[in-house]
Chain A
Amino acid sequence: MEKEKLGFFSKLKNGLNKTRINLLDGLDSVIHGFSEIDDSFYEELEEVLVMADIGVYTSEEIIEELKTSVKIEHIKNPEECKSFLIDSLSKRLYVSEDNYQFENKQSIIFVIGVNGVGKTTTIGKLASNFKNDGKRVLIAAADTFRAAATEQLEAWANRVGVQMIGASEGADPASVIYDALQSAKSKDVDILLCDTAGRLHNKKNLMEELKKMNRIIDREFPNAHRENFLVLDASTGQNALNQAKEFKDACDITGIILTKMDGTAKGGIAIAIQSELGIPVKYIGVGEGVEDLQKFDPKAFAKAIFE
């Protein structure tokens, strides 16, 4: 089914629009609804932040900070609190400049996450982006567990026009990674994208399997640049923090890809994760098309939320 093709920016804006509307509506109505700063004002603010999935702890933190500066700077007007909140959230979304340096290196991108967050689709989109940038891309289909996962990725590989290394259902995923690494070396590809099976972060054995694959990459291709991307569904609630923590323990996460931002989910969990674990968001998914994976621009994100 062909969907209306939207331009790069309108798509991004479209994806972010819902986020913006929801938060802004809430924020503005709270700010306009109060003539003075009191406890119920703070409580309403908390509601807005929590409803955006920012999390109760991070929300409290933000509000405590606000309270402190209200005292110190003698802020009397709720309207003035708005700019403080904008600053506060932007600060928390800070991403360093060298975030995307891996694109210019020989890199291995290991994509992990729980079930159904959109890992395979994201790999397809990433492959397409890199291919368009003129890079030699190889895909490793290491999800040998879910039925037809390899076929799904193969469809993407064909669509994008890149090679894929796979195995049959039930094969050892580590062996797929191993084969792909050998192939990547001999073909001297620029970027190797590794898809993995979705796994809940509390399954010890599956997390061990992940560690094993991670070790094999380190061992077999020590010179390559490593990126481990955790894919998160934007509609996930506070459990995403557990996910990020557990996956980070298993293999060092270098970035988060926030998918399904074209729904009504507010993606506030990204703020919580960055606050608590210091992992930056690198990409956001705003639709089902190949072009619907955008680099994460924290400034634009913060602006879209608050302005």
Chain B
Amino acid sequence: MAFESLTDKLTNVFKKLKSKGLLTEADVKEALKEVKFALLEADVNYKVVKNFIKSVEARAVGSEVLEGLNPGQAVIKIVNEELTNVLGSETTELKFEPGQATTVIMLCGLQGAGKTTTAAKLAGKFMQKGKTPLLVALDVYRPAAIKQLQVNGEKQGVEVFTMGDSVKPVDIAKASIEYASKNKKNVVIFDTAGRLHVDEALMDELVEIKSNINVNKTILVVDAMTGQDSVNVATEFNEKIGVDGLILSKMDGDTRGGAALSIKAVTGVPILYVGMGEKLSDLEQFYPDRMANRILGMGDVLTLIDKVMEEKIDIDKDKEKDMMARLKKGKFDFNDYLESMQQMKKMGGLGSLLGLMPNLGISKDDLEGAVDEKQLKQMEAIVLSMTKKERTNPKILNPQRKHRIAKGAGVDIAVVNRFIKQFEQTQKMMKQMPGLMGGKKHRGFGGLGGFGGKFPF
């Protein structure tokens, strides 16, 4: 029980609600008790949870829910809305200074929150937006912290400004601003040392930097796995140095990130980005509504769409339609297979996609690693070893051809046979379910033309 995620937990609660036609007041109370437990387990601050439950209860108990046609849905909606309310009603963009002016951003936070990694990720993000960022190494305490920033900066192709570890951070900061204006860098990112919010000397250091330099945005980096203490940390940083935005790191773990909810509720500081992986590209925009959806187990279909957009995968509409038409008729060949595989790869592999899909009744843990990317590569090699004719007309595949393909792909003939058999089964399945492809368009899936059809395995 204790290891269930909030999503699983809430899904169970709402299943209970859904299974009943009519809700009594006691049912709502019972459900909200579970929601409270789930939120606490998700590390949402106790006081925040208390208020949250109160506001949901006020709305849910009584006519609003009891008179509704679908009581379960009504509660989900209220919980979702209230969650979104707390998280912030809209996306907050990091605003740059107008024109050619330099935007100075300072990252701060506890030790191990992920500041250095985040700094490099941010720089990469800004470059995508056409900015010329400069990373500044102000962590003069942790051994090799400067080196870490240099290596990451190099990977991103961003210049790193450093003066070694024997110069005071405030002096490095000052010099970096001069350097930036001379070298036409319009975004300067300070990577500061990790510090405890109760360490006065080190907190003063940040205050000193801010009083000497016009820091436009101070961003607090918070580990998404932080417990009840997140409120203390955020409050202290906000009161002592002033925080303009939050970045939530390590969100690719299985934490539900209750800290996000707590900090937002207590400080009102908006969450800007979430760190979703160790790769330098894994920094995503924070969408409050999506986060709420995610907590409620609706998956993060919208983020998925966004990912597709960012990778600029042009889905040729006509071609798409054509493919859909053929799918409906069950005419699905190896060319389609290859194409869908390539699209998938562009979006970061099947594993990362599945993680974003709504709760399909399979836990995320089961999915991760369950999909053998190596095997997918093997399949691709098999298809690539086919002639054009074979790809469009799989029926002509005889043992002789299969042997040649196996040799070409560097696999055993048995692997080829198994693959083709699987493919034929999928084809059959497609024929039997034309409705699957053409049915009602779900908002989230519309642009993708239905994943079910694209991934025949």
List A residues at the B interface (Cβ < 8 Å): 1, 3, 18, 47, 50-53, 55-57, 114-118, 145-149, 151-152, 154-156, 169, 200-205, 208, 233, 235-242, 245, 260, 262-266, 269, 276, 288
Contact = CB atoms under 8 A, between A and B. Distances in A.
Nearest to A275: B2
Given A50-B46, A202-B252, 14 more contacts: A52-B228, A115-B278, A152-B143, A152-B147, A202-B368, A235-B223, A235-B230, A236-B225, A260-B112, A260-B196, A263-B196, A263-B197, A264-B233, A288-B111
Contacts of B226: 235-237
Contacts of B258: 237
B225 A147 contact: no
Nearest to A50: B46
Given A204-B368, A235-B110, A260-B111, A115 B40 contact: no
B445 interface: no
What's the interface size class on B, roughly? 35 or more
18 contacts: A3-B201, A50-B46, A114-B250, A115-B250, A117-B112, A148-B145, A155-B143, A205-B369, A233-B112, A235-B110, A236-B223, A237-B226, A238-B42, A260-B110, A263-B233, A264-B198, A264-B229, A269-B227
A148 B228 CA distance: 31
Contacts of B145: 148, 152
Contact of B112 (A1, A116, A265): A116
Interface in B90-146: 110-114, 140-145
Contacts of B225: 114, 233, 236-237, 239-240
Nearest to A113: B112
B266 to A, nearest CB: 13
Contacts of B252: 200, 202-203
Given A56-B37, A116-B111, A276 B227 contact: no
A55 B196 CA distance: 23
Contact of A262 (B42, B196, B250): B196
B58 interface: no
Interface in B228-273: 228-230, 232-233, 249-250, 252-255, 258-259
A236 B227 contact: yes
Question: Could you say which of B155, B225, B232 has the most chain A C-beta atoms within 10 Å of its C-beta?
Answer: B225
Nearest to B114: A116
A242 to B, nearest CB: 6
A1 B255 CA distance: 35
Given A152-B148, A236-B227, A116 B40 contact: no
B152 interface: yes
Interface in B259-296: 259, 278
B227 A169 contact: no
Contact of B228 (A50, A146, A204): A50
Given A147-B152, A237-B228, A56 B41 contact: yes
B222 to A, nearest CB: 10
B264 to A, nearest CB: 16
Nearest to A234: B229
Given A147-B148, A155-B144, A242 B228 contact: no
B2 A57 contact: yes
B26 interface: no
A218 B126 CA distance: 47
B254 A202 contact: yes
Contacts of B364: 202
Interface of B: 1-3, 37, 40-43, 45-46, 110-114, 140-145, 147-148, 150-152, 155, 196-198, 201, 223, 225-230, 232-233, 249-250, 252-255, 258-259, 278, 364-365, 368-370
A208 B259 CA distance: 29
Contacts of B144: 148-149, 151-152, 154-155
Nearest to B257: A239
Contacts of A265: 227, 229
A245 B226 CA distance: 17
B143 to A, nearest CB: 3
Contacts of B368: 202-204
Contacts of A56: 37, 40-41
Contacts of B198: 18, 262-264
Nearest to B45: A51
Given A50-B228, A116-B112, A145 B196 contact: no
A148 B116 CA distance: 11
By Cβ-Cβ distance, the 3 closest A-B pairs, closest first, are A237-B227, A204-B369, A116-B112
A118 B228 CA distance: 20
Contacts of A262: 196, 198
A153 to B, nearest CB: 8
Contact of B227 (A152, A154, A235, A288): A235
B112 to A, nearest CB: 3
A132 B124 CA distance: 44
Given A1-B141, A263-B229, A242 B3 contact: yes
Nearest to B169: A1
Contacts of A204: 368-370
Contacts of B1: 57
A21 B315 CA distance: 60
- Of B142, B145, B196, B259, most A-chain CB atoms within 10 Å: B196
Nearest to A120: B143
Contacts of A236: 223, 225-227
